[in-house]
Amino acid sequence: MQITKDDLAKLVVLQEQDKVIDILEAAIAEAPGQIEALRAEADAEKTALAQAKDRLLKLQLERKEKELDLAKMEEEIRKHNIELNAVKTNEAFRALQTEIDRCKAEAGELETRTLEIMERCDSLLKEEKAKTAKLKAAEAVIQEKISGLEARKSEDEAKLAVEKTKREALIVGLPGLVLTHYDNVRRRRGGVAVARLNGNTCTVCRMNQPPQVVVNLAKGNVVVCCESCQRILYSAELAGAKPA
């Protein structure tokens, strides 16, 4: 494949330009995932708050149930105390007293459970307030980060358009086969299609080249590739050279 030294110098510059484009494209591609992760973080805070509210609501409902049960039990005790005045026999009196004692014991258990629930409600109410404040603060920070990412993505997209325009100007005049070969190697080799030959060593894959490769590169009229990584080689003298 024929190539001039000027075209080879263009490839060296083109590779640097493509690195800039790659960085911008990677940043643009990463932005949606980063934004989604931030939104997931906010959703997690919302879920934690919703769970705290749900626990509090369930306890408040249980508290109302216990208070109703306690009121019923106290009413039953009051009725039994009235009935005591009407009993005629000791046996009936003892049976009624036993029932009153049972009701009082059950009422005591209900009171204890109600107090426990009240304490737990107070604790959950504090937890809910803390999570609400935390969510509000987190949402502000997260939204600021998302806005920053979106702004940076827009900036990167604008920069990318400019850099791609620069690339189009660089490839003008390059032989089609050379450019196609460059693009194919670049795609297969992690974005690096051109490598400097230092002595007889490819500076990318670090493999030594046969003497003929060095000779062919010195002639400067054909595309010479590393026999190990297939990247297009250029000489140390060409490094930093500006294409005409």
| CA angle (134 as vertex; 47, 120 as ends), nearest 5 | 70
CB hemisphere CA count around 40 (13 angstroms): 6
pLDDT number for residue 162: 98
**What per-residue confidence (pLDDT) applies to 88?**
85
Q: What are the residues facing 57 on neighbouring strands?
A: none
Q: Is the dihedral of CA 224, 227, 231, 234 positive or negative?
A: negative
Locate CATH 1.10.287.1490 in the chain. Answer: 28-161
Within a 10 A sphere around the Cβ of 49, how many other Cβ atoms?
19
* pLDDT score of 239: 54
What was the pLDDT predicted at 244?
32
Q: Are 32 and 154 contacting, i.e. CB atoms less than 8 angstroms apart? A: no
Return the sign of the alpha-carbon dihedral for residues 127, 130, 133, 135: negative
Q: Which two tokens stand for residue 205?
A: 């894959």
pLDDT in tens, 204-220: 999 999 999 999 998 88
CATH number for 28-161: choose from 2.30.40.10, 1.10.600.10, 1.10.287.1490, 3.60.110.10.
Answer: 1.10.287.1490
Answer whether 0.85 is exceeded by the pTM.
no
Residue 103 C-alpha from the chain's centroid: 58
User: For strand 201-202 and strand 194-198, is the pairing parallel, antiparallel, or unpaired?
Assistant: antiparallel
Q: How confident is the chain (244 residues) per 10-residue block, as mean pLDDT?
A: 89 96 97 96 93 93 94 94 88 92 94 94 93 93 96 97 97 94 95 94 95 89 92 80 40
Closest CA to 137 of 42, 224, 36: 42
